[in-house]
Structure 1
Amino acid sequence: MSNSPGKMSPAVELINVSRRFITPDGKSMTAIRNFNMTIERGEFVAIVGPTGCGKSTTLNLVTGLAKPSSGEARLFGEPVSGIDPRIGFVFQTDALFPWRSVIDNVVAGPMFRGKPKEEAYELARKALARVNLAGHETKYPHQLSGGMRKRVSLAQTFINEPEILLMDEPFSALDVQTRALMHDELLKLWSDAKASVLFVTHDLEEAIALADKVYVLTAGPATVKSVYTIDIPRPRVVSDIRYDQRFIDISQTIWNDLRDEVKIGAARTEVSA
């Protein structure tokens, strides 16, 4: 797949990718098949699908933790080869060191990448201010609420200025009100950073509220069933747009598409139980 002259390569491309692996009992299993996905530079893409449909496998292919059995995974036009320092991660469970203060957690990334100590701490203070945690630098993780811990995780990630951000159900453990606040925090950070985002979620409304494009995956082995462009203007206030008629219409359209796959996945789970 070549790009036209003068056009920059997408941030992420999965081209006819299949991924097979051997289960512990020696059987061959296909996680994803004939999978195609493109994330343009600066684009926010969300993927939704039934449980076990290969969403996390997709993330692993982008990081290089998993290799395609066939097809190709590319970053900025080049084949994926190992862990790329341009990628940042935010997962469902945070990666905070409990014995380190908030600022010492955030400063770890820049110092690991070779920043001088004084400069790294200044960057960490600015990163914490951006997520509304100025004044909490000396606290420890156990002293923070779930939402505050997630803010620290975002500061940890964005301080390294990732060009690609992978997010695996990062807010699923939060209550509804805190999650809505975190959505707005994320959109502000993303807008400033201009990073390309791949966001995995089970929450369809979350996907629509945040993303430029939503990929609906089939029940495993996963492939792309459909792709929806979310034409809701930005900037968005997530807590407000959920009541917008356009948001409701998009939600109903995508859910009608996704529902059949959820039923197939649930039926398979019952059979194997």
Structure 2
Amino acid sequence: MKNVAIEMKHVSRKFVSPTGKITLALRDFSLTVHEGDFIAIVGPTGCGKSTTLGMITGLNPPSSGSVKVFGKSVQGIDPNIGFVFQADAVFPWKSVIDNVAIGPIFRGTDPKIANDMAADWIRRVGLSGFEHHYPHQLSGGMRKRVALAQTFINEPKILLMDEPFSALDVQTRALMQEELLGLWSEKKASVIFVTHDIEEAIALADRVIVLSKGPGSVKSSYEIPLARPRDISEARYSDEFVHLSKQIWSDLKDEVQI
């Protein structure tokens, strides 16, 4: 039995506007993620998907309920957690290698060792030859590869991803999904991947969680029986994949219809 990496029990999260209006983003939300699990969360806009990630990082403490990481209540930022955002979180004035090396340097690694580590990760994400380029000289997909290298170089035990590939074109997105699965299979971090795309969720995850419209709560959970290692391009055309996609969409459509 794998150890529990993330445990959220009966969590609710309220936000108060400057005018005093209270908005309930999540209500009675519970989720357990074991070590090495790859979980995808789908749901309509405003259902609290990003709020969920914020509570795990410690940036948005719950209004009620409990959030634990490796058995300990979340208090502040945990260095075991990596976060990949929808927007590129790269420093525009730094080169690729400097962007990738900055995490280890910040954590106290000798700069020469950090640069050697960064060069290795740049190679692993397919960016050899671009070490001294700057973000504005890279395509969207290449910047996402930098973001993955930035995150994986710190060897996070938990990886939180908030719609990281949504701005990419279809072909680049498919390549980045394959890249992510390859890196994850090496390190086996526990992943929570937020997306609006049902097919992306099925292609990547071991389990897909469907949230209700806001205030969000767990509406349903689907185990994904597709074999690993997973060839996404092949899996998408399987009868099992199509059936799951229809099932999840049927469950989700009532939440997104006005």
- Normalised by the length of structure 1, the TM-score is 0.93
Which residue matches 1:43? 37
Q: CA deviation at 1:118?
A: 1.4
Aligned length: 258
Q: 1:8 offset after TM fit, Å? A: 5.8
Residue 128 (structure 1) aligned with residue 122 (structure 2): yes
- Matching residue's letter, 2:193: F
Asked if the contact 1:9–1:77 (Cα under 8 Å) also holds between the matched residues in 2, the reply is no
Q: 1:33 and 2:24 equivalent?
A: no
Instruction: Determine if contact 2:2/2:34 at 8 Å carries over to the other structure.
Output: no
Using the TM superposition, give the Cα deviation of residue 82 of structure 1 relative to its aligned residue in structure 2, in angstroms.
0.5
* Structure 1: unaligned runs, 5 residues or longer: 1-6, 268-273
What's the counterpart of residue 184 of structure 2? 190
Please name the residue that 1:213 is paired with: 207
Alpha-carbon contact 2:141-2:172 (below 8 Å) kept: yes
Equivalent of 2:225 in 228, 231, 240: 231
Report if the CA contact (8 A) 1:46-1:207 is conserved.
yes
Any residues of structure 2 matched to 1:106-117 within 5 Å, and which? 106-117=100-111
Find the aligned partners of 1:81 and 1:259 in 2 and give their Cα distance: 36
Q: Distance in 2 between matches of 1:22 and 1:136?
A: 45
CA shift, 1:120, in A, is 0.5
Asked if 1:118 is matched to 2:112, the reply is yes
Matched, 1:62 2:59: no
Match of 2:88 in 1: 94
Select between 147-156 and 21-30 the one with higher mean Cα deviation: 21-30
Cα deviations by residue, 1:148-182 (Å, 9 ceiling, x for unpaired): 11000000000000000000000000000000000
3-state SS of 1:11 partner: strand
Equivalent residues in 2 for 1:14-25, closer than 5 Å: 14-25=8-19
Query: What CA distance in whole angstroms lies between the structure 1 residues aligned with 2:3 and 2:120?
Result: 32
For 2:242, what is the secondary structure of its paired residue?
A: helix
Query: Which whole-Å CA distance do the structure 2 matches of 1:145 and 1:155 have between them?
Result: 15
Contact 2:83/2:161, CA 8 A, preserved across alignment: yes
Tell whether the 8 Å contact from 1:42 to 1:197 is kept in structure 2 after alignment: yes
SS at match of 2:4: coil
Deviation at 1:234, TM superposition (A): 0.8
Task: Read off the aligned partner of 2:7 and give its amino acid letter.
Answer: E
Q: What's 1:3 paired with?
A: none
Amino acid of the structure 2 residue aligned with 1:262: V
Partner Cα distance (1:26, 1:138) in 2: 49
Q: Secondary structure of 1:115's match? A: coil
Q: Shift of residue 99 of structure 1?
A: 1.3
Gaps of 5+ in 2: none
Q: Is the 8 A contact 2:11 2:28 kept in 1?
A: yes
Report the TM-score, using the length of structure 2 for normalisation. Answer: 0.98
CA RMSD of aligned residues (A): 1.0
- State percent identity of aligned pairs: 62
User: Which residue pairs with 2:78 in the alignment?
Assistant: 84
